[in-house]
């Protein structure tokens, strides 16, 4: 312990800035990893609670294969309720309304759930709170609840907007403006607690009547017999459905969101690896400097009988402590950072897939993530120190005690460095041409790592070549300090190359991300300029939301076409569906207008020719992302689900 205190602790305490920089490098990588891992776990859990909370005890859901306007015929519920293995079946309407309030010019998006209130206790875990007391369930209460203009709002929603019993809501659903009266406040139990705090609930019969959807449903929720496998019942239900309807388990939607967020998690995880790489270089540099400063002390200890293994354990203990401190600091910073990552990811999921998702809040952090973060900090510190420790234990005591002996360490072997760098660049080139593995560019990431490694091996050679020139070009007026710095850079190129490599990785990441963002913006601007020629866009308030019921009446399109100064009015229809078990969007537009006024960037073919050809009834154009995701190209055929069954279309072009 005395040896550890003299050799390690005294130097750590005397070089706090350098030690703090090393700890910070390790902590940064750990923080990014912990933030991403924590946010990912929380967003998936929040989405699962939202889906399963609304689903309640539902085990199978029946809905349209596409976002078909108007839903489907409610008469299908009769045969489903008598299907083998189905215990209960209830109709559901998913509506999205615009609630006009005094403080909002555009209004507030209000998700509305239309359900059979008399059967809800068998499906979902929420209750109605009235005047601060639990609902008594009396006959008079139910009479009020079933009035056509009755709506129930979530507790959080009511509190945020000052709603009370008897408050009136003016809601626009699909162009139909209706006045609703709040007759109860919802409070969920279990997983449904947070979900129902942001929803409005109506009796389904009232919703059908008020919003002109008589006889139409958006979804049917089924509770299956616990004695029978759910998948077996789902297949039996699917056999009873027409082609435009599908039966799925609620958990399958959670699997979709995991696939959606995988790319985000992977990209940010790579950033955490880069940050850890910078930390690794910093650890290497710090331990190398420590070995250099303590070279004489290490020689004395070796002369007094301390073995090479003992020296290694002393230095390794110091490094492990740095890793532990860096891991702990990184965990704390990562947990704080995870709230921002969580809100960003939740906004993405909410806008792209599930608009009713309640913004999640970080309540707890998985112990697995904390342990992983701590282990990552220790591993990075240990790996970064292996080289300097090996150098420290390999030096003989006489060489360590000899004055100036340290100058002989770290000789640049130019041929070896160039060979290693060339091999790394060659392997990186080969890896860059490899195909992704299950959609993940693993070889691409490996190629980037090899490029970084190659430049790290080149750094000592470059420093040895540039440092003499730098020293000679410095003017005498610069003083002795810059000239001494250049001389020190030339005298220890190997040790200085580590610091240069750390700076190189950070600078390269910053430049790479900046170029990528700038390139992406330019690409989007070019795409908008060549494909979206519209000067004005007329759309409902939630045209960027996910409500299929939000569509403009056909009369609006006809009136716009007749306005003076309007050359063309392009109608737009956006439908969501599943293609090969993955969510996709199908867009319908007037391609003849685009053939005359737009210039699409097709991979193959002229824009006007391809768009004109696509107007034929059995043609479709697809995005490059869609084509890559499903390994398709021009001339291939895709089968898309429609209310009248699957329709096969030929790909006229890839843009």
Q: What is the predicted pLDDT for the residue at 362?
A: 55
Q: Does 389 map to a domain?
A: yes
Look at residues 248, 277, 301 and tell me which one is the last residue of a structural domain.
Answer: 248
Same domain? 508 vs 619: no
- Structural domain range at position 9: 1-55+253-406
CA distance 580 to 196: 32
Same domain? 580 vs 628: yes
Same domain? 141 vs 101: yes
CA distance 359 to 344: 10
Q: In the chain, which residues have pLDDT < 70? A: 1-15, 40-56, 67-69, 102-106, 120-145, 188-195, 251-265, 267-268, 271, 343-364, 400-412, 439, 475-479, 530-532, 541-551
Tally of domains within the chain: 4
CA distance 232 to 247: 12
Same domain? 575 vs 499: no
**Are 493 and 410 contacting, i.e. CB atoms less than 8 angstroms apart?**
yes
Q: What is the predicted pLDDT for the residue at 427?
A: 94
Tokens (6 digits) for 1:
């312990």
Q: Does 521 map to a domain?
A: no
Q: Does 402 map to a domain?
A: yes
User: Distance between alpha carbon 477 and the CA centroid of its chain, in Å?
Assistant: 54
CA distance 592 to 613: 10
Same domain? 346 vs 235: no
Q: What is the predicted pLDDT for the residue at 132?
A: 45
Q: Does 128 map to a domain?
A: yes
Same domain? 150 vs 191: yes
Same domain? 257 vs 328: yes
Q: What is the predicted pLDDT for the residue at 75?
A: 92
**Are 400 and 394 contacting, i.e. CB atoms less than 8 angstroms apart?**
no
Q: What is the predicted pLDDT for the residue at 638?
A: 92
Residue from 250, 243, 242 nearest 60 by CA: 250
Indicate the DSSP class of residue 395. S
Q: Does 549 map to a domain?
A: no
Q: Does 526 map to a domain?
A: no
Same domain? 146 vs 48: no
Look at residues 361, 391, 406 and tell me which one is the last residue of a structural domain.
Answer: 406
Q: Does 386 map to a domain?
A: yes
Same domain? 575 vs 592: yes
Tokens (6 digits) for 379:
């591993």
Same domain? 402 vs 415: no
Expressed in percent and rounded to 5, the helix, strand and coil fractions of the chain are 55, 15, 25
* Secondary element (H or E) of residue 98: strand 86-99
Tokens (6 digits) for 478:
């610069």
Beta strands 582-589; 245-248: pairing state: unpaired
Q: Does 624 map to a domain?
A: yes
Q: What is the predicted pLDDT for the residue at 220?
A: 92
Look at residues 383, 406, 429 and tell me which one is the last residue of a structural domain.
Answer: 406
Q: Does residue 605 come out as left (phi exceeding 0), alpha (psi in the -120 to 50 range) or beta?
A: left
Same domain? 272 vs 378: yes
Q: What is the predicted pLDDT for the residue at 422?
A: 92
Q: What is the predicted pLDDT for the residue at 131?
A: 44
Q: What is the predicted pLDDT for the residue at 580?
A: 83
Same domain? 336 vs 450: no
Tokens (6 digits) for 585:
């969007």
């Amino acid at each position: 312990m005395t040896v550890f205190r003299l050799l390690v602790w005294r130097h750590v305490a005397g070089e706090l800035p350098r030690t703090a920089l090393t700890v910070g490098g390790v902590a940064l990588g750990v923080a990014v990893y912990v933030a991403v891992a924590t946010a990912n776990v929380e967003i998936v859990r929040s989405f699962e609670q939202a889906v399963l909370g609304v689903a309640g005890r539902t085990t199978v859901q029946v809905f349209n294969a596409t976002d078909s306007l108007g839903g489907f015929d409610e008469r299908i519920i009769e045969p489903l309720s008598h299907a083998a293995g189905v215990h209960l079946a209830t109709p559901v309407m998913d509506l999205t309304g615009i609630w006009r309030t005094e403080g909002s010019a555009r209004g507030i998006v209000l998700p509305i759930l239309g359900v059979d209130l008399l059967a809800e206790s068998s499906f979902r875990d929420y209750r109605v709170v009235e005047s601060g007391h639990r609902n008594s369930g009396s006959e008079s209460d139910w009479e009020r609840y079933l009035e056509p203009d009755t709506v129930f709002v979530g507790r959080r929603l009511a509190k945020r907007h000052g709603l009370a019993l008897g408050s009136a809501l003016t809601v626009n659903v699909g162009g139909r403006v209706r006045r609703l009266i709040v007759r109860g406040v919802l409070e969920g139990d279990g997983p449904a607690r947070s979900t129902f705090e942001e929803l409005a609930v109506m009796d389904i019969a009232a919703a059908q009547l008020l919003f002109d959807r008589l006889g139409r449903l958006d979804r049917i929720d089924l509770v299956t017999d616990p004695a029978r496998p759910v998948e077996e019942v789902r297949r039996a239900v699917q056999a009873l459905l027409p082609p435009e309807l599908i039966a799925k388990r609620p958990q399958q939607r959670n699997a979709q969101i995991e696939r959606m967020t995988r790319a985000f998690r992977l990209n940010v995880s790579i950033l955490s690896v880069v940050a850890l790489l910078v930390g690794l270089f910093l650890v290497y540099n710090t331990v190398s400097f420590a070995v250099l400063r303590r070279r004489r002390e290490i020689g004395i200890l070796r002369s007094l009988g301390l073995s090479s293994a003992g020296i290694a354990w002393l230095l390794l203990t110091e490094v492990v402590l740095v890793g532990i401190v860096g891991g702990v600091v990184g965990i704390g910073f990562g947990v704080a950072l995870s709230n921002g990552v969580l809100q960003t990811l939740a906004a993405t999921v909410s806008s792209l897939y599930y608009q009713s998702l309640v913004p999640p809040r970080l309540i707890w952090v998985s112990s697995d993530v904390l342990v992983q973060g701590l282990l990552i900090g220790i591993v990075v510190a240990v790996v970064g120190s292996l080289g300097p420790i090996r150098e420290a234990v390999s030096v003989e005591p006489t060489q360590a005690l000899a004055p100036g002996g340290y100058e002989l360490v770290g000789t640049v072997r130019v041929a070896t460095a160039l060979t290693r760098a060339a091999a790394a660049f060659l392997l990186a080139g080969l890896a860059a041409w490899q195909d992704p593995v299950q959609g993940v560019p693993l070889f691409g990431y490996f190629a980037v790592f090899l490029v970084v490694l190659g430049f790290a091996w080149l750094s000592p050679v470059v420093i040895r070549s540039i440092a003499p020139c730098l020293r000679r070009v410095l003017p005498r007026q610069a003083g002795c300090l810059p000239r001494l710095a250049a001389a020190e850079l030339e005298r220890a190129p190997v040790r200085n190359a580590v610091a240069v490599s750390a700076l190189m990785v950070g600078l390269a990441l910053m430049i790479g991300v900046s170029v990528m963002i700038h390139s992406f913006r330019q690409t989007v601007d070019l795409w908008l300029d060549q494909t979206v020629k519209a000067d004005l866009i007329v759309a409902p308030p939630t045209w960027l939301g996910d409500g299929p019921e939000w569509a403009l009446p056909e009369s609006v399109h006809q009136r716009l076409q007749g306005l003076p100064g309007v050359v063309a009015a392009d109608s737009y229809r956006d439908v969501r569906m599943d293609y090969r078990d993955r969510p996709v969007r199908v867009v319908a537009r007037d391609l003849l207008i685009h053939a005359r006024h737009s210039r699409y960037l097709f991979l193959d073919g002229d824009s006007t020719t391809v768009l004109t050809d696509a107007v034929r009834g059995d043609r479709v154009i697809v995005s490059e992302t869609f084509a890559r995701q499903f390994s398709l190209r021009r001339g291939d055929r895709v089968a898309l689900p429609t209310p009248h069954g699957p329709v096969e279309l030929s790909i006229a072009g890839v843009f």
